[in-house]
Amino acid sequence: MITLNKKFTFDSAHKLENYDGKCKNLHGHTYIVMVFVQGEISKENGMVIDFKILEEIVEKEVLEKLDHKYLNDIIDLPTAENTVKWIWQALEDKFQDHKIKLYKLKLWENPNSSVTYKK
């Protein structure tokens, strides 16, 4: 079994309602999400999945929906934890046609703070 990963970035704004701190105000992040998938190496092309195909799936299912958007309109209580869970749900079954599975996600909302989701 091989695990491969690819990083993506997107910019979004949000605010944390019912929160006592700076994040209760409207603010934005340049998020980085690393998508980890697992599968076997294809005997036909020597790859688990073509990075271009992985990129197309993430672009369609995640980036088009979150990049330069107001996360409060998309995700209930858009904390980093809930955002990474939303991304997981958006991607979870999108790799089946390629005989691989989503293995893990890591989401940074800034260079020093990240969350990891693995089911």
Q: What is the mean pLDDT of the chain?
A: 96
CA-CA-CA-CA torsion sign (56, 108, 74, 9): negative
Task: Give the pLDDT score at 66.
Answer: 98
DSSP E strands in 40-81: the ranges are 69-70
Per-residue pLDDT of 3-51, as tens digits, reads 999 999 999 999 999 999 999 999 999 999 999 999 999 999 999 999 9
Quote the CA–CA distance of 51 and 95 in Å, as a whole number: 12
Task: Write down the pLDDT at residue 97.
Answer: 87
At residue 93, the pLDDT reads 94
**Domain architecture of the chain: domains with CATH:** 2-117 (3.30.479.10)
Give me the percent of the chain exceeding a pLDDT of 70. 100
CA–CA separation, 105 vs 86, rounded Å?
11
